[in-house]
């Protein structure tokens, strides 16, 4: 379970750094994927912080753990998918 948190903290930003390299020279679809993934990861960070600071007594442990560990990865993937769909129309 901790692998999702580490992937969200380290692997997703490294992938975004790689995708953002020479962003102006890339196709508009790749730019849309980059910005979608960046926005999704940022929203995932907010969900992670909110879930981590919410009193765990009031939550079921399964949902809190999933929100804390996987929201950054899921946010980046969902944002990239939304960017791909939005960039397809350009």
DSSP at 62: H
What average pLDDT does range 11-33 have in this prediction?
A: 91
| Euclidean distance between CA atoms 38 and 34, whole angstroms | 6
The pLDDT value recorded for residue 67 is 85
Of residues 89 and 15, more confidence is placed in 15
* Average pLDDT of the residues of the chain: 88
40 alpha carbon, distance to own chain's centre: 4
pLDDT category of residue 52 using cuts at 50, 70 and 90: confident
pTM confidence score: 0.87
Of residues 57 and 78, more confidence is placed in 78
pLDDT in tens, 23-36: 889 888 899 999 99
SS3 content of the chain, % helix, strand, coil (to 5): 90, 0, 10
């Amino acid at each position: 379970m901790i692998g999702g948190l580490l992937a969200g903290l380290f692997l997703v930003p490294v992938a975004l750094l790689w995708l953002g390299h020479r962003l102006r020279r890339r196709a508009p679809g790749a730019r849309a994927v980059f910005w979608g993934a960046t926005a999704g990861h940022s929203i995932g960070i907010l969900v992670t912080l909110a879930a981590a600071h919410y009193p765990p007594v009031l939550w079921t442990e399964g949902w809190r753990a999933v929100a804390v560990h996987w929201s950054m990865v899921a946010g980046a993937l969902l944002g990239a998918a939304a960017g791909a769909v939005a960039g397809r129309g350009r």
